[in-house]
Structure 1
Amino acid sequence: MPEGTLAENLRVVDGPLSRNKLATLRDETTGTPEFRRAMRELALVMVAEATRSMPTRTVRVRTPLVETEVEEISGPVCLVPVLRAGLGMLDGALALLPEATVGFMGLQRDEETAEPVEYYVNLPQNIGDYLVLVLDPMLATGGSLSATLTKLKEYGATWISCLHAVSAVPGVERVTREHPDVTFYTAALDPGLDERSFIVPGLGDAGDRLYGTL
């Protein structure tokens, strides 16, 4: 997917800081502690970018000197990490949004079919009232993410953005087509997938590298 044909609802967060964190994440010699730290720090960058599109409201506060108008995010935020790799981005997201509610989506990929299998869902019943940020480091085939977004919409979510460390073009093409009302943020757009549906060049299995289960 050449840059000129990027979907309108895809944002590539490509700055020196995100590139620096990605360099650490991609390097196969990066150990688990350093990988966790880089993923957390990249999440900070991604959340800061994604919140730029959140609706705000004007309120009045008093500084130590005068009363003035300020802007604040207009609704509650729900962070939804896709288990288990999404947990690697959760601490970074909470550092910037400490009052956020946290929901969870448990999906695993069937290694034979590469299709998602749902095994755990825990979301606020009134999720339609929330601004939802989905945390999922790897957007590969797009199957698990598309299923997550469908489930969120079934629960009533209407404002959703997704944050990824690395995305593959085939997965991006699928989710932006199936969910054109969702905005997707990624720090890197990789060209394709291998025969196991792993992103190439990618960074390996994010969950295994986060939790030392290689």
Structure 2
Amino acid sequence: MHRVRVLPKYLSKRLDRWRSTTFSENREWFSHLASHGQHPRAMFISCCDSRVDPVAMFEGEPGDFFLVRNVANLVPPCAVNRELHGTSAAIEYAVLVLGVSHIVIMGHSGCGGVAACYDKCEGVNAEWEKNTSFISQWIEVLAPGYERIKDMDGDRSERLSAFEKEGVKVSLENLLTFPFVRAAVEEGRLVLHGVWADIGSGALFAYDGSTESFVEV
């Protein structure tokens, strides 16, 4: 552990600014959160991509959203085994302990994880075939979505955009494989949502389950 270092200066400076502004101006609210715990109404499952920030986009404040970020905003199918499932554990906590009312799967344009899965399914990048790649194993969750776009017309960019949206749908489908999620949905305690954000334009498209299409919000 001797190789671990303290924070770089640019992060320390940002921390100082946050303490002197945001934290100082909202000290009472932070004290309330510390004393009374968190009670978020919504959970967001979004991508690790640094360009996509659901808190900023939806003007979230501390305590508003329960957040999970992973490669390609994926939810794996429910499977209880010896493997570690950070995303599944977070979903369980959000639904059974926090009692969130909404879960939002948030995909986005230009997703590197989706592109990696596309290349793997197309067999054009041997890097993603390696058993030692964590990314390769993780993005297999998305493979069912490839089956729905592999024969569509259009260039690579258009197919990737469609695949990103299918990824949102795959995660929504997988959410319903968790018994406690399905029960909460059927009992009206929980609503599921899927959205896809265009980074360059700021447009947001929400999935409408009744028409099985994405509509601009």
Task: Point out the structure with the larger helix share.
Answer: 2
Larger radius of gyration: 2
Question: Which protein, 1 or 2, shows the higher relative CO under an 8 Å CA cutoff with sep ≥ 6?
Answer: 1
Q: Same fold (TM over 0.5)?
A: no
Task: Point out the structure with the larger strand share.
Answer: 1
Give TM-score scaled by structure 2 length.
Answer: 0.31
